[in-house]
Amino acid sequence: MSSQRQVLPTNVKPVHYDLTLKPDLETFVFYGQVKVDLEVKEDTTEIVLNTHDIEIHSAVLASTSLKTESKQQAKSITYDKKKDLATLTFEQSLPANAKAQLDLQFKGELNDQMAGFYRSSYKDAEGKTQYLATTQFEATDARRAFPCWDEPAIKATFDVTLIVPAELTALSNMDVKSEKPYVDTAKMTSGKHEGKHEGATGKHEGKHEGAVGKHEGKHEGATGKHEGKHEGATSGKHEGGAVKKNLKQVKYARTPLMSTYLLAFIVGPFEYIEAYTSGKHNGHPVKARVYALPGSVEQGRHALNVATAALEYFAKVFGEQYPLPKIDMVAIPDFEAGAMENWGLVTYRNVALLFDEKSSSIVFKKSVAYTVCHELAHQWFGNLVTMEWWEHLWLNEGFATWVGWLAVDHIFPEWNIWVSFVNEDMPRALNLDALRSSHPIEVAVNDPAEIHQIFDAISYYKGASVIRMLSSWLGVDTFLAGVRRYLQKHKYGNASTTDLWEALSDEAGVDVSQFMNLWTKRVGYPVLTVEESGNHDIKVTQSRYLSTGDLEQDEDTTVWWNPLRILTPEKVESFTLTEKSQNFFIPESGLYKLNAGQTSVYRVNYPIEAVLRLAEEIKKGPGGLLSNAADRVGLIADSGNLCVSGEQRTTAFLELAQAFVNETDYFVWAQLSMHFSNIIGVWADQPDQVVDQLKALRRSLFAPVAHRLGWDFAPTDDYLTNLLRVLALTNAGRSNDTEVIAEAKKRFWDFVGGNNEALHPNLRGPVYGIVLLTAEDEAEEFKLWESILKIYQDESLPTDQRMIALNALGGIKSQELVMRYLKMSLDGQVRGQDSIYVFRALGTNPDARDLFWKYFSQNYETLHAKFSKSLSLFGSAVRSAVSGFTSFDKLEEIEAFFAHKDTKEYARPLQQALESARVNAKWIQRDRGVVADWATKYAAN
């Protein structure tokens, strides 16, 4: 274990928590009691645990080994707010090997920061704002809900009891054991220990006595209209105590051994739909439910169907039945991440769980399926076996990303998931990892405050990419057999990256760590430069790839193991490059491509002759060497990125793109689209005639596809055809295709006028973008913008449709509208979690970039105050405000601005954003001239 880690003392070890919480959804205060069974490891008079914004009212310690009456009150309770610690000091020492029970009474706040035990707002049927209570504990926020040992390796069992308004649904990780009217003894609110602890409270006695008595009866007579649906709503009399008619006490079954960050509880007026798995691999059918606020739960049907299939699939591939009695998936209005894998009670942003078959956009169908599979994979990989410390976070997230897609591929084979992975997920990882400010997959984390910065594309997508590379190298069946071995050995415990490598090595009979440590412990990845000797062999040399294109010798020290998988017309050669430079055989035809199927993590820089040969193969279509779409996607990705770093000229990409004129595959078109958008975005401030020719080339490729596929979705069209239709129309419209623009405007105004059929849900986002981009003057832009704003404000629409509108509102030129849009992110018109859409939209809009930066820098303190509690949101704001710039002068101004700020909390996204901007500036500086010459020639043709 790293000696620098900020960890708790090991003098006592918690083995079981008995936790009772009583949240008040009107005062936003909760009271709690936790009894923790402890094993005493060393003689001690002191217990240190984690708390954050929790007031401990009393602490009583009982032990079988104390000589006196065996209970003692803490003589002092002190807090270290910086380190989230509470220290309880006792008079009598606890001897080693004793058993003890710590009984704490405490009070906390249902905060509005989307962390810990927090409140989330929604509008009821009358349009009034109401609140529900929910949790988000990963990484270190269980300590905001109750005093605990909040580290992933300190596993315990939990008995949870919630005291809540009787008409509401109350959920926790396990199934309900009992539910009855709550008899109020005031012990939850008084700070007194009653009965056997009476009088033991010392100086904390009665401090908050009666603090919430005044809210009694507040929920009395609240409607019971959802009663039947929320099983067991209670009422009636109770002998021998004051029954609060409006409260019930819900006890849940005991959890298995688990980490604190996976505990969860939710209280709100939810409705649910349910289904059972087949039970084929779980030994019995598992009950699955989707919970959502009234009126929207039917939109959870797609997620529910995916969940029942995925739970059986994972039980099969992991060789282990799902260990809990049920799985609940809940849509939460305010939610910082996409979803959270709490064991048995998974929480989601609305848009990540709810999908309306009639009125949601098709792109969300895949994202919902994937998010569900990712979170359910964690129920085994992460929850049953948990990382020993946060530096192994990548193992949780990288693996769940890979195996999540594996499950989606099993459930929806027609979606071509692995080509999609090459097209979307790998670039996210490789773009970030091409920066100097990247970090290794496995990164030392000492201070819990740093953890949130590594929940990024490296942990998730590079993690998943190297796992995919490894599974391809070992064979997927061998790889999964090794995973089963790992889960069996470590279930209900904790493990590290090394433990997985050991299990895989034992299964495969090769030293996996020798191969993988280079990929997980070192930053970056290589570009393989190919030289042809003319004698049927090639020389392949590896060096670290940097998108700035200015690698120093002392940065080029890693020699990775690279599975080459050389594709030839006859077969795939399984060579591995294990040295700086090696020679390999190629066929006489000279036809070859490295990285068949794009399973490995590197770029390839071919000599121009080889690129021209591959371009001819592309034109042959299915009969050519590159019949696998993943290989075509990979060739475009390499060319598009090597021009950014200067290994190739940007014009080489523009020439290669023209070979795809007869392409039919959606993912290949999507990769082309991504690089065209990147080039046109970076060149946006260059002379109009240059930008117009770049758009003309894009139009020449995409417009014929758009015109062929048209605007209407036939029931017989498959999923990928529909995605291609949307992509082609988007690119044609954004490249000034007059036919598409005219049709987009006509359909937009028909749709706004009330004809829902005029604009299919799949096309709404693209059309909003096209009409705003091509507005003839400011008056038209205002009129369009106000119409799209109304769509965003319509709360009856599915969440994804509202987010599509919110995102589109950022595609504007008018400075007045940019300011209005920015202010929406601060004045409550946009939920805190959704401000990310505002920042991203403006950051990628060249017409708004300068004003966005000016606003960000002038309102830094306000923005920081609003978002600093959700650090990933603030990091995202920084990234959006900075990364799009393309001039060195602007970079200097930005660096000067941050020079005197304390940037520790967002140092990583800031460095990455500054470097991304520097990459753009160098690229423009290097290739401005050659692209201008190309534009002149292209215009002449």
Q: Which residues of 138-171 are buried (b: 16+ CB within 10 A; e: fewer)?
A: bbbbbbbbbbbbbbbebbbbbbbbbbbbbbbbbb
Token pair recorded at residue 175: 């199934």
**Of 769, 679, 772, 671, which Cα lies nearest the Cα of 723?**
671
Of how many residues is the chain composed? 941
Q: CA 585 to CA 587: how far, in whole Å?
A: 7
Map tokens 């034992």 to a residue.
506
DSSP string, 567-579: E-SS-EE--EE-S
Q: CA 169 to CA 901: how far, in whole Å?
A: 45
Token pair recorded at residue 262: 């996976």
CA-to-CA separations, 82 to 52, 53, 448, 452, 864, in angstroms, rounded: 9, 11, 11, 17, 19
CA-to-CA separations, 784 to 535, 733, 908, in angstroms, rounded: 63, 16, 38
**Of 103, 140, 158, 135, which Cα lies nearest the Cα of 8?**
140
**Of 543, 644, 652, which Cα lies nearest the Cα of 915?**
644
**Orientation of helix 738-752 relative to helix 688-709, angle to 10°:** 70
Token pair recorded at residue 439: 């970090």
What is the DSSP secondary structure assignment for residue 381, as one 8-state letter?
Answer: B
Of 109, 151, 320, 375, the catalytic one is 375
Map tokens 């800031």 to a residue.
910
What is the rounded (10 degree) CA torsion for 836, 810, 881, 816? -130
Q: CA 657 to CA 33: how far, in whole Å?
A: 65
Contact between 291 and 304 under an 8 Å Cβ cutoff? The reply is no
Q: CA 731 to CA 705: how far, in whole Å?
A: 10
732 CA to centre of own chain: 31
375 is catalytic: yes
Say whether the peptide bond before residue 899 is cis (omega within 30 degrees of 0). Answer: no
Q: CA 605 to CA 594: how far, in whole Å?
A: 10
- Within 10 Å of residue 271's Cβ, how many Cβ atoms? 18
E strand intervals along 41-153: 44-50, 54-63, 71-73, 76-80, 85-94, 99-109, 116-123, 129-136
**Of 772, 799, 770, 794, which Cα lies nearest the Cα of 783?**
772
Q: CA 304 to CA 599: how far, in whole Å?
A: 31
Contacts 24+ apart (CB under 8 A), 690-697: 690/931, 690/932, 690/935, 692/736, 692/935, 693/934, 693/935, 693/938, 693/939, 694/654, 694/931, 694/935, 695/734, 695/735, 695/736, 696/735, 696/938, 696/939, 697/654, 697/657, 697/658, 697/938
Map tokens 């979606």 to a residue.
415
Q: CA 354 to CA 348: how far, in whole Å?
A: 9
Exposure of 240 by Cβ count < 10 A (0-12 exposed, 13-18 middle, 19+ buried)?
exposed
Token pair recorded at residue 25: 């959804």
What is the DSSP secondary structure assignment for residue 456, as one 8-state letter?
Answer: S
SS3 content of the chain, % helix, strand, coil (to 5): 45, 20, 35
What is the DSSP secondary structure assignment for residue 460, as one 8-state letter?
Answer: I
Active site residues: 375
